[in-house]
Amino acid sequence: MTRPTILCVDDDPLVLKSLSAQLRSAFGAEYTLETAASAEDALDVIEEITDEGAKLLVIVSDWLMPGVRGDELLVRVHVKHPNVVKVLLTGQADEASVERARREASLAACFGKPWNEAELIGLIREQLQA
């Protein structure tokens, strides 16, 4: 049986490495952790996850990425996977984009960069237990 999945999306390799290390440390025994460097890559990964019969539980996405921004990615994910916990990470998002993600993608939270690891992990744990 394939373990449920947490997906991290960020175009900055250092941020992606740090985020995935934190989440792997907190959740690695329970969940599979996948990463993507863009929204387009993330959509491909999500398709692969679901084709393999795994369940996507959480997506943590950067906001400002080349091509498709994080709020748009989360809205697209929400259409096909409304129960996925969606978290936005940003150092630059405008309030309208965050509000759109809250309204159209049921955004669980938005964290600024640098994020507080304990708060992010705590939020994800809380959302997964809900």
User: pTM to 2 decimals?
Assistant: 0.95
pLDDT at residue 26, rounded to an integer: 96
* Torsion from C-alpha of 8, 112, 100, 62, nearest 10 degrees: -30
Q: What is the mean pLDDT of residues 49-69?
A: 94
Q: How far apart are CA 46 and CA 51, in angstroms?
A: 8
| CA atoms within 13 A of residue 45's CA, in its CB half-sphere | 20
- For each of the domains in the chain, give its residue range(s) and CATH number, in order of start: 5-129 (3.40.50.2300)
pLDDT at residue 130, rounded to an integer: 79
Q: What is the pLDDT of residues 87-120, one digit of tens each?
A: 999 888 788 999 999 999 999 999 999 999 999 9
Query: Which residues partner with 85 through β-bridges?
Result: 58
Kindly give, in sequence order, each residue whose CB lies less than 8 Å from that of residue 46, ignoring residues fewer than 6 positions away. 7, 56, 59, 77, 80, 81
Query: Which residues partner with 8 through β-bridges?
Result: 35, 60
